Copies of this chain bind each other. A is one copy, B any other.
Amino acid sequence: MPNQLQPVSLTVTMPTIMAYADLTDDYNPIHVDREFAERTEMKGIIAHGTMSLNLIWQSLRKTLGTPAMAGARLDIRFVRPVRENDIVTGGGAERADTPGTYDVWVRNQKDEPVITGTATVAP
């Protein structure tokens, strides 16, 4: 049976987005200026893409441990934006036919995919 990754969730609040902006020095108004963001096609604040990507990393690390992450390969696609107040969860499962390769994903509270892809770690 495939090895399931331990899921990791995050509620994307405005304070989290602001902390992320500070840390990454990314103050793009689509992330931090609600009035601006509401006038764009996105019609509201969206979170930094790498905030969701971190959930996959955390899920892999919590399940497999830090040493397994050395040399890890990630092949992922950003398929849907994450909005303010979304609850996003990262997780995955090992492929039965390819040990060490995991289908990984981040999904929102509607179970819609946000990021999909694969991770390959040291055996």
Complex Cα spacing A25 to B11, Å: 13
A42 to chain B, nearest CB (A): 9
* Contact between chains at B78 and A69 (CB < 8 Å): yes
Bound Cα distance A37, B26 (Å)? 30
Interface residues of A in 3-58 (CB under 8 A from B): 16, 19-20, 22-26, 28, 30, 48-50, 53-54, 57-58
In the complex, which of the residues B23, B30, B57, B76 contacts A23, with contact meaning CB atoms closer than 8 Å? B23
Alpha-carbon separation in the docked complex, A82 to B13 (Å): 29
Q: Are B49 and A69 in contact (CB under 8 A)?
A: yes
Residue A1 interfacial (CB < 8 Å): no
Q: Is the CB of B75 within 8 A of A49?
A: no
Q: Residues of A within 8 Å of B, CB-based: how many?
A: 32
Tell me if A96 counts as interface (CB < 8 A to partner B).
no
Q: Nearest CB to that of A71 among chain B residues?
A: B78
Kindly state the separation between the CA atoms of A37 and B69 in the bound complex, as whole angstroms.
Answer: 16
9 CB contacts below 8 A, A to B, read A16-B23, A19-B19, A19-B23, A25-B58, A49-B72, A50-B54, A70-B81, A73-B75, A74-B76
